[in-house]
Amino acid sequence: MLKDYLKVRDHCSVCKQELHHHRADDGPAYLTILIVGHLMAPLLHIAFVKWRPEPLILFTVFAVGCVALSLYLLPRLKGCVVAFQWARRMHGF
């Protein structure tokens, strides 16, 4: 459904279903922030309370974790939003 990283294909390469009219806009970004924030905030608190690492080490580890998780989730959540639109016959927004 997606080509490159976040571009929606004009049509499905298997069934030729048109997808050019589906737009996800900011929905996947908001969902990504919501999920990453709810996963990383408790982990940050637990790591700080349990191990008391140096602030720079704590920041580095969690910054890399947040970026990696965000880059992993963003295209998958965009696919979910487009699939939801397709299933509900919304034809984009």
Render pLDDT for 5-56 as a digit per residue (tens, 0 to 9).
Answer: 999 899 888 998 888 888 888 999 999 999 999 999 999 999 999 999 999 9
8 neighbors 19 (Cβ within 8 angstroms): yes
Query: Is residue 93 one of the residues assigned to a domain?
Result: no
* Residue 73 domain-assigned (yes or no): yes
Q: Please tell me the total count of domains within the chain.
A: 1
Predicted local confidence at residue 29, as pLDDT: 96
State the pLDDT at residue 93: 62
Length of the chain: 93
Q: Is residue 20 part of a domain?
A: yes
Domain that holds residue 50: 2-87
Token pair of 28 as six digits? 């996947």
Task: Give the residue, 35 or 85, on which the prediction is more confident.
Answer: 35
The pTM of the full predicted model, rounded to 2 decimals, is 0.88
Angle 31-69-9 from CA coordinates, rounded to 5°: 65
Q: Are 82 and 18 in contact (CB under 8 A)?
A: no
- Position 92 in a domain: no
- As given in the structure block, the two tokens for residue 39 are 């996963």
> Residue 74: pLDDT band by 50, 70, 90 thresholds?
very high
10: in domain: yes
In a domain, 21, yes or no: yes
Question: Does residue 45 lie in a domain region?
Answer: yes
In a domain, 26, yes or no: yes
CB 86: neighbour CB atoms within 10 A? 17
pLDDT of the residue at 77 = 96
